[in-house]
Structure 1
Amino acid sequence: MDRIVSPLPDSRDATIGVVMIGRNEGERLRRCIASTSAVAARVYVDSGSTDDSVAWARAQGVTVVELAVPPKFTAARARNAGFERLLQDFPGLAYVQMVDGDCELAPGWLDAARDALQADPTLALVFGRRRERFPERSLYNAFCDEEWNVPIGEAMSGGGDVMVRVDALSAIGGYDPAMIAGEDPDMSIRLRKAGWRLYRIDHAMTVHDAAILRFAQWWRRAERGGHAFGELADRHPGLDDPYWRRQCRSILVWGGIYPAVVVAMLLLAIVLGPIWLLPAFALALIWLAQVLRIGSRLRRTLPLRQAMLTGLFLMIGKVSEMIGLARFHVGRLTGRRSDLIEYHRGPAHE
């Protein structure tokens, strides 16, 4: 994918600000900051970087907020800190673009997003197409690229990169800083409950550099997803769409109960004889059928190989999601908040 290096054509609109958040992003942050050079109101919020992120951002004339610990670092806490600093320095802002430090804004996005919000006062936020920078470098990057491709039109929630109306975000109290994952859909749900609408417009928004090159990185990311599903279902039990409780039940069945039963059958085969391998084999066939069902559904929009691999890894990932889901509920029952579930990414590439 081509690298975006030139300043964006967006004018220095005094109604738009940008909040960038990151930690040890390196070259990714450099690209992010460069892509926002057409904006006067910019804040970078750093969560304990040990590289030169803070010094480099300041050298570019960007306002930097360094989060202290305690409390724990969270993306939600960082976005709130950036949002508050922007409004302190630029009280006339009407819209704020949230962007992760591993992303780069696409040319023309800020104008398109602002125009959409100005045209419809019922919209609280808009977002566009986030693309993965190097989907060909790993299966996991390719999975991310497809994950970002949500339908154009009315949306149930937005992600980390959105342009949000200042009045709307202020009215709901911003993001929940206690959430270690799922803070974006949580904020989106609270906006919808307050009567606002969300929309994905047909425009390129950001280029993201996941740099997930190893299975262990992908596994940790899936674990974080399971934690998020659990907390969202717990916070919004009556929500019909997205129906997080259904997602949690799926994780419990395919990532918890199902593997436990298969392992039990195998143990029985060792203790009581090979006859117990038959139900284990039947369960394996059911699992494979589920993989094929998911892959067949994805085949409508993806090449056959990628569709089937996506189905396979989605099913494997249920186990990791189950770990994250269990981690959330253990923390809920014991009153101990979970730490961030991070995956260590590879270096940024040119």
Structure 2
Amino acid sequence: MGSCLPDGFGFALAERVRVCDGGAQLVADGRVVRLAPAAREVLAGAPRAVGADPTAHRVARLLLDRGLAVPWWPGPAPAEADVDDVTVVVPARDRATSVDRLLAALPSHLPVVVVDDGSREPAALAEVARRHGARLVRHPVNRGPAAARNTGMRSARTPYVAFCDSDVCPEAGWLGVLRRHLDDPAVAVVAPRVLGGEPEAGDTWIDRYEQARSSLDLGPTPDLVRVHGRVAYVPSAFLLVRRGALDEVGGFAETMRAGEDVDLVWRLLGAGWLVRYEPAARVRHDHRTRLLPWLTRKAFYGTSAAPLAARHASAVAPVVLTVPSAVLAVSLLAQRRWSGPVAAAVVAHATLAGRRRLGGSAHPTLTAGTLALEGAVATAWQSAAALTRHHWPIAAVWALHSARGRRALVVAALAEAWADRTRTRPRLDPGRYLLARRLDDLAYGAGVWWGVLRHRSPRALLPQVRLRGRRSR
């Protein structure tokens, strides 16, 4: 949004960014950013606060807005007692025991609004709110979490609101860590890392899988939220928001029972706001860990794809490719004699095209070749994920009628689970991790297809093919 940063605000390069040519170029996510000499001098001091240097402000703003840098501060986060401009909103339907636990874990000086969204036993929830000094607002009938959050936000009197679902419990220190992100006037929402329960000796295989691979856990690396980015949304289980930004876009969509958090984030991004993910703040979530409720929840998440596609079109696309990467994906899936040469030709073409764009680089061929190989790996990963998740019914039909289909599906299922287990390092043996991973994808994909059939639109299943890839700038 081009907003000015406070002098005490700083930046550090994101972990995935590579510095090339002595700081003249930054490479990340298939993009190459060239820096002027003055910008290189600013970057040489990173991590750093911007201070009163106007060049540092401009460089930091550019890098932060493009996800190439993450916020950084020279000192510790503010103490919880020093943050007094946040109201906590807790949407709940019954679950008095969980709400009691949550309210006990919140900083005692923060105002709290509990929104009873049509509880069947309202007296129990009212007693919990009274005991903790929270304000209670009641919906006579259940209207859904989006409406409950909007009601709570309208009841708040502070410029910032923390939305906390009743089945989460924050770890100490979250308030100061999240609140300082909103000192950047361009940021509308910041979200913590949402983890499962603490590991215990009696955990089931689903417990252990969720502890490593929860749908709500977006990983240990801070990032800027971007459509089709590494972090494409943040869950509404726990959010700290700028009220003015949510008022600008109309708050949560009350007609949506699933995916309302994704919809809100994408509308904010479309309005020019920034949304950040900050895993240094952590909350614990009560995951479903019995088989049938677990699968049902995964399918429920999948049902949000169709209504999101109706609102945001290609933002929901399960596969995003350029024309060359689409050719690469088809050649890999075809498994013909020409597949290898075609794949090699695509990588070579991408390398040559990148080299022409990087003519001013000290090592244009190496940089372009690295980007081309990274793109090829990303294409293979997307193809495997499509076969085992969104498009598994199509893949299953293909496998029933074709040896190539069976081979592609088996390789995708095993390779994706192996790579994912290597990355997440769960307390779970390979066999049960493979089973859990595939059940997770089958349930989610079933939810996607159910939503597609119910809304009579295949848009949530369609790939997006971009006519042009990302260019250097």
**Structure 2 length as normaliser, TM-score?**
0.57
Map of 2:412 onto structure 1: 290
Map of 2:394 onto structure 1: 257
Structure 1 residues 138 and 282 mapped into 2: Cα distance closer, same or farther (>3 Å)? farther
Q: Say whether the 8 Å CA contact 1:223–1:323 is kept in structure 2.
A: yes
Map of 1:337 onto structure 2: none
Q: Say whether the 8 Å CA contact 1:113–1:163 is kept in structure 2.
A: yes
Amino acid at match of 1:65: V
Aligned equivalent of 1:139, options 205, 209, 213: 205
Structure 1 residues 195 and 302 mapped into 2: Cα distance closer, same or farther (>3 Å)? same
- Report the CA distance between 1:203 and its aligned residue: 1.6
Residue 181, structure 1, aligned to residue 258, structure 2: yes
Aligned equivalent of 2:447, options 309, 313, 324: 324
Secondary structure of the corresponding residue to residue 304 of structure 2 = helix
Structure 1 residues 280 and 318 mapped into 2: Cα distance closer, same or farther (>3 Å)? farther
Secondary structure of the corresponding residue to residue 288 of structure 1 = helix
- Report the CA distance between 1:224 and its aligned residue: 0.7
Amino acid at match of 1:74: G
Map of 1:82 onto structure 2: 152
1:55-94 matches, within 5 Å, as: 55-69=127-141, 73-86=143-156, 90=157, 93-94=158-159
Q: Say whether the 8 Å CA contact 1:79–1:175 is kept in structure 2.
A: yes
- Report the CA distance between 1:199 and its aligned residue: 1.2
Residue 171, structure 1, aligned to residue 268, structure 2: no
Aligned equivalent of 1:96, options 157, 161, 177: 161
* Structure 2 segments unaligned to the other structure (5+ residues): 1-78, 226-231, 321-381, 458-473
How many residue pairs were aligned? 300
Secondary structure of the corresponding residue to residue 80 of structure 2 = coil
Q: Say whether the 8 Å CA contact 1:65–1:82 is kept in structure 2.
A: yes
Q: Say whether the 8 Å CA contact 1:134–1:209 is kept in structure 2.
A: no
- Report the CA distance between 1:45 and its aligned residue: 1.4
Separation in structure 1 between the aligned mates of residue 138 and residue 252 of structure 2, nearest angstrom: 18
Map of 2:45 onto structure 1: none
Q: Say whether the 8 Å CA contact 1:229–1:244 is kept in structure 2.
A: no
Amino acid at match of 1:204: A
- Report the CA distance between 1:252 and its aligned residue: 4.7
Q: Say whether the 8 Å CA contact 1:294–1:311 is kept in structure 2.
A: no
1:101-112 matches, within 5 Å, as: 101-112=166-177
Structure 1 residues 324 and 13 mapped into 2: Cα distance closer, same or farther (>3 Å)? same
Separation in structure 2 between the aligned mates of residue 180 and residue 308 of structure 1, nearest angstrom: 35
**Structure 1 length as normaliser, TM-score?**
0.75
Separation in structure 2 between the aligned mates of residue 307 and residue 281 of structure 1, nearest angstrom: 25
Q: Say whether the 8 Å CA contact 2:209–2:428 is kept in structure 1.
A: no
Q: Say whether the 8 Å CA contact 2:194–2:283 is kept in structure 1.
A: yes
Higher radius of gyration, 1 or 2? 2
Separation in structure 2 between the aligned mates of residue 65 and residue 301 of structure 1, nearest angstrom: 41
Aligned equivalent of 1:53, options 101, 111, 125: 125
Q: Percent identity?
A: 24
Amino acid at match of 2:391: V
1:1-350 matches, within 5 Å, as: 10-11=80-81, 13-51=83-121, 52-69=124-141, 73-86=143-156, 90=157, 93-118=158-183, 120-136=184-200, 137-145=203-211, 146-147=213-214, 148-150=217-219, 151-155=221-225, 156-160=232-236, 161-210=238-287, 212-239=288-315, 243-244=317-318, 251-254=389-392, 256-260=393-397, 265=400, 286-298=408-420, 299-303=422-426, 305=428, 309-333=432-456
Amino acid at match of 1:230: A
- Report the CA distance between 1:308 and its aligned residue: 5.9
* Structure 1 segments unaligned to the other structure (5+ residues): 1-8, 266-278, 335-350
Secondary structure of the corresponding residue to residue 236 of structure 1 = helix
Map of 2:37 onto structure 1: none
Secondary structure of the corresponding residue to residue 412 of structure 2 = helix
